[in-house]
Amino acid sequence: MTTLPTRMLPRTRHALTALGMGGAPLGNMYDVISEEASRATFDAAWAAGIRFFDTAPFYGYTLSERRFGEALRAHPRDQWVLSTKVGRLLKPLSPLAVPRALPAGETAWQNPLPFEVHYDYTAAAIRRSVEDSLQRLGTNRIDIALVHDIGRVTHGDRHEFHWRQLTSGGGLRELEALRREGLIGAIGLGVNEWEIVRDTMEHVDLDCTLLAGRYTLLEQQALDPFLARCVERGVGIIVGGPFNSGILAAGLRRPSSTLKFNYATAPAEVVARVAQLQAVCDGFEVPLAAAALQFPLGHPAVVSCVPGPRNADELQGIVRWMTQPIPAALWSTLREQGLIDADAPVPGEKR
């Protein structure tokens, strides 16, 4: 078994492995994964020493939670840390309903389970969501509960309505109550935009945030003042999407039309920047994916990176990238060429 380092959430006693496992692929994101392949992926992660797992009711319309619950129950409860999410209630799809196309933004799920999504950030819905997740996972506590996809990127004109549900409507207060009751251990957000985390920190003391795609080798706009403030307030950052939907894992070794960035086809300017990053990494004989996976962990706010492997082979490749030696000169070259922010901390650097 690989020994992976752990990092503590500053405000709680939870120790997360620096490499976690994201659960969206286990919800059949983009491709159908069989039960056998799903379990093999989890078993490979466990054998590799991964002990932090992230899922959500939304992933496959409860499929990912069910698969993680079944797999995790084979291991002692005190040996793993699990995060799941609130903000979407999954309600049974009527057997009499006419088959329908999935709404925009939900078409990634292949063969989802027969439920439909209802956004709801009210106190009652958040408690119901937690209780439903406990049932699906087969456990009596959730280590980390994350408010899923609050913000303008997801909700557009409906953002203010859902924001009021979460704030003045009591959603955040209910999360605090659930934390006091011990049903959840830590509270945070699971989002793709750092600005909404900043705003939420004005209303509640967050323990952590899963920030997807916003602090990566391609993007460091969240660096200052947001991440600096997280360090000051003890808010741990879990980096989701360290490969920006895959382009930093694939590099330029696939046709450009298949390269994804932020869940969509990568624009030309992103492909060009990836080419520059890859050229530097190639010069040091370091896989671009290894640099992308390890880079966020150089920041003191970051406690874990959680890529989403689709199968056991991908998982094992991710572990190799995580343990790949990277010379300090690679990071220096990226800085000198303006490919990462000059103030971005890098792994192994003392500041």
At 206, list the tokens: 């967050």
In sequence order, what are the residues at sequence separation of 6 or more whose Cβ sits closer than 8 angstroms to the Cβ of residue 208? Answer: 9, 11, 144, 146, 186, 187, 188, 235, 236, 237, 238, 303
* Total number of residues shown for the chain: 351
Going from the C-alpha of 184 to that of each of 65, 169, 335, the distances in angstroms are 16, 20, 40
Closest CA to 243 of 177, 308, 184: 308
**Location of structure tokens 């799920």:** 109
Give 308's Cβ-side CA count (13 Å radius).
23
Residue 205 annotated among the catalytic residues of the structure? no
The phi, psi pair for 42, rounded to 5°, reads -60, -45
Catalytic, 121? Answer no
Tokens read off for 38: 């799903």
Helix (H/G/I), strand (E/B), else coil: 33: coil
- Whether the CB-CB separation of 244 and 218 falls below 8 Å is answered with yes
In angstroms, the CA 160 to CA 164 distance is 6
Whether the CB-CB separation of 4 and 19 falls below 8 Å is answered with yes
| Structural tokens at position 122 | 């009210």
Q: Kindly name the residue from 54, 120, 149, 207 that is annotated as catalytic.
A: 54
Helix or strand run (H / E) with residue 31:
none
Picking from 44, 26, 236, 227, the residue whose alpha carbon sits closest to that of residue 137 is 26
Q: Which one of the listed residues 61, 85, 121, 143 is annotated catalytic?
A: 85
Query: Residue 230's Cα: distance from chain center in Å?
Result: 17
Give the sign of the dihedral formed by CA 24, CA 81, CA 191, CA 45.
Answer: negative
Q: Catalytic one among 30, 43, 59, 341?
A: 59
Element (H, E) at 279: helix 268-283
Active-site residue list: 54, 59, 85
